[in-house]
Amino acid sequence: MTALPAIVPLLFIAIPQPARTITPEAAGRKPSLWADMREGLRFMLSWKALMMLAVVGVMINMLGRAAASLAPILIMQHFKGGALQLGWWQSAAGAGTVIGGLILGIWGGFRRRVVTQMLALILDGLVIIGIGLSPNEAFRLALVLIFFVGILEAIVMGVGGAMFQTIIPPEVQGRVFSLLMSVSQGLAPLGLLVAGPTADALGVSFWYVLTGIMIAVMGASGLLVPAIVHIEDRAYQQRPSPQTSSGS
């Protein structure tokens, strides 16, 4: 039932099908997944600001997934809760995500989407730090904070997706997005590999504080890099055409 609202519009909306472009190196070769991923990587490496944003996205995905996986342990060990408290936790996060999407849909963000994304990242990091610093008896406070995490992360992901679709040429979006998704999913276990021993040694709360600090620092750093701040302004001037990116 929840899939129907996403499926039904596809019956009435025409999805653009951009012509597939072939670089000189790929000419004469049989199309393959690996070749497409190499083309996506080649395009990203030729655009430093885009590559930096992609690295930030992958890092946030690693940290966020690890923190989410440790949430049941945080609730049991730190807040002394059980299944009911975990249910409230997940409900609060889900409600925040829905409301964050509504806020972004109505507001739309600042003129520079990347500024909206970086500011939301900074706030998201600070809220996650607040969760890690919450006292054992302050579970209700943690519920409020995870609700705001849901709002902020919906804004971060929504703005990031819209921005990437705007600045990346349609003819190479599939290759770039498939590469980003593959790398994010492939590296996600590394976050757990680090988070597990860290949480065992220093506590789950410490991992939340560390995660929040790193996310906030990445957001603040993004605002200090002119190439990132102006990535939308210079998109059409900076990005190389797919036909020449591999040889430039």
Q: What are the structural domains of the chain?
A: 45-238 (1.20.1250.20)
Taking Cα atoms as reference points, which of 25, 16, 17 lies closest to residue 243?
25
Query: What would the pLDDT profile of 145-186 be if each residue is shown by its tens digit?
Result: 999 999 999 999 999 988 988 888 887 888 888 888 888 888
Confidence of residue 247 (pLDDT cuts 50, 70, 90): very low
As a whole number of angstroms, the distance between CA 18 and CA 146 comes to 40
| Model pTM score | 0.83
Taking Cα atoms as reference points, which of 26, 19, 14 lies closest to residue 171?
19
Query: What would the pLDDT profile of 29-78 be if each residue is shown by its tens digit?
Result: 666 777 778 888 888 888 888 999 999 988 988 988 899 999 999 999 99
As a whole number of angstroms, the distance between CA 57 and CA 53 comes to 6
Whether the per-residue pLDDT at 244 is higher than 70: the answer is no
Instruction: Compute the average pLDDT of residues 190-212.
Output: 93
Whether the per-residue pLDDT at 197 is higher than 70: the answer is yes
Sign of the four-CA dihedral 79, 84, 86, 89? negative
Query: How confident is the prediction for the chain on average, in pLDDT?
Result: 87
Query: What would the pLDDT profile of 103-150 be if each residue is shown by its tens digit?
Result: 999 998 998 999 999 999 999 999 999 999 999 999 999 999 999 999
Confidence of residue 28 (pLDDT cuts 50, 70, 90): low
As a whole number of angstroms, the distance between CA 70 and CA 239 comes to 39
As a whole number of angstroms, the distance between CA 161 and CA 165 comes to 6
Kindly report the length of the chain.
Answer: 248
